[in-house]
Structure 1
């Protein structure tokens, strides 16, 4: 597995949604790639922190900026 492939699969990995073979390859890559290991750890922490934000606590401006960022995020 390449680093780019891992990045594409990180959400599925964190949600436990990878098939067993892909998950094995993902974990094997983490064992040999410090950069990807750090990336996955950062994603875990981000999900944990963002998951604690109550939508009502966001200002209208912040909510609108986040929605716009998601709408314009590059997709392939």
Structure 2
């Protein structure tokens, strides 16, 4: 496993949703890579400080349309 793959899989690892062989590759990489080990520690600290994020709120349909129009017009 390389560093890019580890970054893509970090949330799945923390959720416990990796299959056994992938989880082992993940752990093996962490054991050998100081940079990824530091990244994992930062991720864990962030989770500990922030806790769980609230469930996403849905925007009213008209407000969503207004925002999308504003962004489209801004890009022009």
TM-score for the superposition, normalised by structure 2: 0.66
Change (3 A) 1:6 1:52: closer
Q: Which runs of 5+ in 2 are unaligned?
A: 55-76
1:20 corresponds to: 20
3-state SS of 2:18 partner: coil
Aligned length: 55
Q: RMSD between aligned alpha carbons?
A: 1.8
Q: Look up the match of 1:43.
A: 43
Larger radius of gyration: 2
Instruction: Supply the distance in 2 between the matched residues of 1:51 and 1:37 (Cα, whole angstroms).
Output: 21
Change (3 A) 1:53 1:21: closer
Is residue 2 from structure 1 mapped to residue 7 from structure 2 by the alignment? no
